[in-house]
Amino acid sequence: MAMAQDSKLKRAAHWADVRGRGLGMWAYVLNRVTGIGLVVYLYIHLVVLSMLTGGPAAWDPFIKVVRSPLFLGLDVVLISGWLIHGLNGLRVTLTGVGLGVRAQKAMFVGFMALAAIGIVAMALLVFRS
């Protein structure tokens, strides 16, 4: 019998489809988005560090640029990614070994509240420094 399958791309789109879904699905999507963001950042970071090989002439002008408000804002985005991914990852680890499974939604809300407090605190530190 001839049968149809969704394309891989269409199926992959289901990873981000949160319509009508539960809180766990939002946590799943947040972890993917922040995870991909952190991997991209890691590569950018390595490329940027390679500028050190050019000596002060290459590095000092770059440092001036990253002290601009735009880059400081990007720092806050990066810290947000760390906090959300790390704390959500802790929830996944705990439930993954059978701890707090029934409280996973409350755990997600609690950890994200912690992340929000951390983001605000870090944003204040970044922009005041």
Partner 1 sequence: MSRDVPVKMFRFKPGDAAPRYQTYRVTVPDAANVIDVIEAVWRQDASLTFRHACHHASCGTCAVRLNGYERLPCIYSVAEALQGRDEMLIEPLRHFPLVSDLVVDVAGFFQKQEAAGLVITRTAETSLDGRRYSPSELFDQAGKLTDRPYNRFENCVECGICISACPTMAATDKFFGPAGLAAINRARQQTDDPQRKSLLLALADGEQGVWRCHSAFECTHACPQDVDPAGAIMSLRHDLAAQKIKRLFGGQG
Nearest to 37 by CA among 3, 86, 2: 86
Q: Give how far the C-alpha of residue 24 lies from the chain's centroid of Cα atoms, to the nearest Å.
A: 16
Binding mask 32-71 for partner 1 (x = CB under 8 A): ----------------------------------------
Segment near partner 1 (CB under 8 A), from 53-61, 72-80, 101-109, 118-126? Answer: 101-109
Per CB under 8 A, 110 contacts partner 1: no
Nearest to 76 by CA among 26, 17, 122: 122
Q: What CA–CA distance (Å, rounded) separates 121 from 91? A: 22
Backbone angles phi, psi at 17, to 5 degrees: -85, 100
Q: How many residues bind partner 1 (CB under 8 A)?
A: 31
- As measured in angstroms, the least distance from the Cβ of 15 to partner 1 is 5
Segment near partner 1 (CB under 8 A), from 26-34, 37-45, 47-55, 112-120? Answer: 26-34
Q: What CA–CA distance (Å, rounded) separates 120 from 125? A: 9
One-letter amino acid at 49 equals L
Per CB under 8 A, 6 contacts partner 1: yes
By CB under 8 A, name the one of 60, 98, 128, 129 that touches partner 1: 98
Nearest to 30 by CA among 102, 95, 109: 109
When the beta carbons of 1 and 65 are compared against partner 1, the nearer one is 1
By CB under 8 A, name the one of 36, 54, 95, 123 that touches partner 1: 95
